[in-house]
Amino acid sequence: MNTNRRQPIAHKTSGALIGYVTTEELASSLGVHPTTLAKWRTARKGPPFARMGHRVLYNVDRFKQWLAEQEIQPISKR
């Protein structure tokens, strides 16, 4: 049984933070380690994020937009 399944993006935040997920929640959804997202933040190559003190949050809609922008179109054969 594969326990490394990607999980749908879980929304555990409430109130003003509805629509945001933590690094751990996004990492779980992507099937990567939270450290990977931290490295992407440092390199400024990952999805947009917001900081609240030491807490890092990702807006789910902005993440989906960023992900769509990462699509690579295959080269068509002529």
> Domain for residue 72, yes or no?
no
> Domain for residue 78, yes or no?
no
Domain that holds residue 62: 15-67
Eight-state DSSP code of residue 53: T
Predicted confidence (pLDDT) at residue 7 exceeds the cutoff of 80: no
What pLDDT is recorded for position 2? 47
Three-state secondary structure of 5-20:
CCCCCCCCCCHHHCCE
Mean pLDDT of 50-60: 94
Mean pLDDT of 33-49: 96
> Which CATH number goes with the domain that contains 51?
1.10.10
Q: How many domains does the chain have?
A: 1
Supply 40's token pair. 């992407």
What pLDDT is recorded for position 1? 46
> Domain for residue 7, yes or no?
no
